Amino acid sequence: MSGTKIFLILISVLGAFLVLAKKIMELNFRENGDRSVNLILVFLLLISFLTIAGVTLSYNIQPTVKKIIPEKGERGNRGMRGNSGEGGKCGLKCNDNSCYRKILDHISNVYNIYCEINGLEKLKSGRHIENIYLKKKIKEMCNSSSFSNLQNLHGMHKLNLHGKNNTSKDKCDLNRDCGAYDYAFQKWTEWILIILKYKNGKMFLDSENMTDNNFNSMIDSVDIDDSLEINKKWIFDLGTTDCYKNETNSNCLSFIKILEPDDDKEVQKKIMSAFRKTDFYKFYSVYGVPDAFNESVRNLSTEKQKITKLRSPFEEIQEYDAWYWGAPEIAQPRVLNKCDATNDYKQINRPIDLDVDEDGKVKKNPKKIKIRFSNDYHHIWSNKKARQAKMNYIINSEVDKLSYVPNLQKGDKLVNIYRVKDFYDNSEKDTDFKMYKPLGDIIVPENDIYNKNENDENYPKYKQKINTRKSTNYLKNGPRLLNVLVSGPDLKPPKDFKLIYQSLRISGYRSGEEGYSVWRPIPPQGYVCLGDVFHISARGEKPNRNIIRCLPIECVEQISNVPQNYSFQTPNSVMDFNGSANVVVNGVGEIRDTDSIKYPNCKLYYNLNNQELLPKIIDNENSRNPDGTLKNKQVLDYQLSRLNLFRGSSSSSDSSIKFYKIKSEYIYDDSSFLTPRTDLSLVSKEKFSKDYSILKIYED
């Protein structure tokens, strides 16, 4: 709007105001001639006119002001960079493809067949199983090179959904020349049926977050039923009739025929009648799995032993190589092919292989063990808040009722339990020595002198032939005390575990959710396990046998003088071991340790390592002789005898408690083959010989 128009509007408004103000002033509101009311009304009128005029002007002036571009000033200093955002997470919907949807749809059909047999609610059209773990496995298979190669070789499909051959008169072989999807559908059919055969299999498929490891605790007593002969072998086929030859026959069965009823009710009735007569229907309508007929399970005396021994569905499934299609390399089983391994092993020219007697005859090869010193730990347990008591509290000078008091100190001193992490040496060429395992768990008193001070105190490190590897943050991976990891083909896991001590939370705070136990590994014949294992479990089950390794008995020697011990004993009063002072000592009904009634006392004996870092004898080239052998055998022997491993005992005198050390002569050291040779020299030669020079033609 132009300035002239605005001026005219203002004059008009002002004129209107003056006229109205004059009229108001002429009115008589009071008989005595008081004009105060008139003045107030004029003032209110003035405010109203000014408000209307201001709003009108602002709406007209604002667009013009917005178009004004201010003069640019000097550029300021750059601010601090913000924190990095969280990495994006690509869920199952990312990069969605037809392969993934096809296999999911097929799995839904298999799931619905099982539901049809057992009268359970089926998945509706377009719905799929919930389990994320299996969905990720489908993604891995679809994106794998093996599945892609199979498509290139044999195409997508040679069978239709009814099992009828689309390409030739002869049905293709699923394990040899069928399409890629035919093979994938068949494998997923078998895997889903294996899972569903277990009582809790359907619950697993319906759960989002369960993985293969969860199924180890989901095996039920009905799964070990071996009373029905039909359960002896897995059944994955609906019938024996070849559908690709005569699909119209009612005895020719397929998942689609059963799940999508025929319009002719009589035909569908015949199909379902034939279906109920099949071994497939009988097999999946009853409980019990084929592994229950295995003699190693069947001959066990108790139901608990049978449930523990019975293979989970994923132990069956993991025997299929297709299960690992697309899986990360570290998750795939490693297949080692050796021909006459014993003789080949002897022919390798290793330092300690050449062991001869006085007559010059080669002796039997000794056992070979490689070690790595490590202080890269998993924290297993702390006793700082591990005890719960039942106490009589005093409130207002009166004894209150018994109350549970958790988070009390367990034992006579503050300690922590650690387990050294496995170590995989990618630089190792011999596959027998790539994986390093611990010998047992360690116990460390809570004291700052055992803490690391810098990252350089982290071990293990790669040998100098590759590079130096720093472990994770030194503040988060345990104490500086060193333990030994072992590797080699002569090592074995324990065959079983013996319970030494157990503490389970059966009442009070977090009842049924907390528990821990001490286990003594039982070695195979001819072997020795050097340390006990601490296991965290609310149910008290045994630890995994694969977490530690046992050594051949000839590779160790017994040691004595193990003075340190840590006591789990029940305190004399509720105030002992960090108890509360506001309690009635030894009151009626009080329990000093509610979790350890069955095992009131236990001691952990251990040989505490000093806090010096001694792996330089292995990892530092300055600690070696010119031939690559170790310089200081005495220091190595001392370190091998003080590994912080512990032995548990529930009695004051236990003759079974023995401590061992590794004999240093059995430690296999191939570093002399890895060090550079110093007896070689380089001789420079002329790059181009004169015999081949073009200048040679001028010599004649």
Question: Does 668 lie in the same domain as 610?
Answer: yes
pLDDT at 593: 78
Q: Which residue has the higher pLDDT, 432 or 584?
A: 432
Whether 214 and 155 map to the same domain: the answer is: yes
Single-letter residue type at 588: V
What is the sign of the dihedral through the CA atoms of 235, 239, 241 and 242?
A: negative
Number of domains in the chain: 3
Q: Containing domain of residue 110, as a range?
A: 98-218+313-333
CA distance 154 to 172: 10
- State whether 192 and 325 are in the same domain: yes
Tell me what the mean pLDDT of segment 577-582 comes to: 40
Cα separation, 352 vs 356, in Å, equals: 10
Are both 34 and 131 inside the same structural domain? no
Separation of alpha carbons 26 and 39, rounded Å? 11
Phi, psi values for residue 357, rounded to 5°: -90, -170
pLDDT bucket at 279, cuts 50 / 70 / 90:
confident
Question: Is residue 450 assigned to a domain?
Answer: no
Distance CA 347, CA 11 (A): 116
User: Confidence class of residue 137 from pLDDT cuts 50, 70 and 90?
Assistant: very high
- The answer to whether residue 448 is domain-embedded is no
State whether 41 and 165 are in the same domain. Answer: no
Between 85-94, 119-128, 279-288, 483-492, the lowest mean confidence (pLDDT) is in 85-94
Each residue's pLDDT tens digit, 625-642: 444 444 456 667 777 777
| Sign of the torsion formed by the C-alpha atoms of 346, 348, 352 and 353 | positive
- Integer CA distances (angstroms), 348 to 305, 338, 367, 496, in order: 44, 14, 14, 34
480 occurs within a structural domain: no
- Which of these three, 11, 46, 66, is where a domain ends? 66
Q: How far is CA 586 from the centre of its chain?
A: 45
Cβ atoms of 138 and 128 within 8 Å: the answer is: no
The pLDDT, as a whole number, for residue 589 is: 63
On whether residue 692 sits in a domain, the answer given is no
Closest CA to 320 of 192, 205, 208: 192
Least confident of 48-62, 180-194, 204-218: 48-62
DSSP one-letter string for 331-351: GSPPP---SSHHHHHHHS--G
Q: Which one of 12, 45, 66 terminates a domain?
A: 66
CA atoms within 13 A on the CB side of 454: 2
CA distance 110 to 132: 17
pLDDT in tens, 305-325: 888 889 899 988 988 888 988
396 and 545 co-located in one domain:
yes
Verify that 46 and 126 share a domain, yes or no. no
Residue closest to 373 by CA, chosen among 628, 660, 613, 546? 613
Provide, rounded to the nearest whole percent, the portion of the chain with pLDDT above 90.
15
Closest among 430, 429, 423 to 488, alpha carbons compared: 430
Q: Flag the least confident range among 66-80, 89-103, 275-289, 477-491.
A: 89-103
- Let me know if 93 is exposed, middle or buried by CB neighbors in 10 A (0-12, 13-18, 19+): exposed
- Residues 508 and 649 placed together within one structural domain of the fold: yes
Length of the chain as a residue count: 700
Give the pLDDT of residue 547: 93
One domain for residues 8 and 115: no
- Three-class SS state of 566: strand
> What is the secondary structure of 34-86 as a DSSP string?
--HHHHHHHHHHHHHHHHHHHHHHHHHHHHHHHT--PPP-------PPPPPPP
Using a 10 angstrom Cβ sphere, with 0-12 exposed, 13-18 middle and 19 or more buried, the burial of residue 407 is exposed
Other beta carbons less than 10 A from residue 18's beta carbon: 10
The reply to whether 447 falls in a domain is no
| 407-428 tens-digit pLDDT | 888 877 888 999 999 988 877 8
Residue 157 is assigned to a structural domain of this protein: yes
- H or E element in which residue 194 lies: helix 180-197
What confidence tier does 469 reach under pLDDT thresholds 50, 70, 90?
very low
Q: Do 162 and 37 share a domain, yes or no?
A: no
Residue 494 and residue 620 share a domain: yes
Q: Which of these, 441, 304, 430, 462, lies nearest to 377 by C-alpha position? A: 441
Lowest mean pLDDT, pick from 182-186, 196-200, 620-624: 620-624
The tens digit of pLDDT for each residue in 512-551 reads 888 999 999 999 999 999 999 999 988 888 999 999 999 9
Please indicate, yes or no, if residue 179 is contained in any of the structural domains.
yes
Q: How many helices (H) and strands (E) does the chain have?
A: 16, 19
Is residue 513 in a domain?
yes
62 and 204, same domain (yes or no): no
Q: Which of 230-234, 264-268, 356-360, 445-449 has the lowest mean pLDDT?
A: 356-360
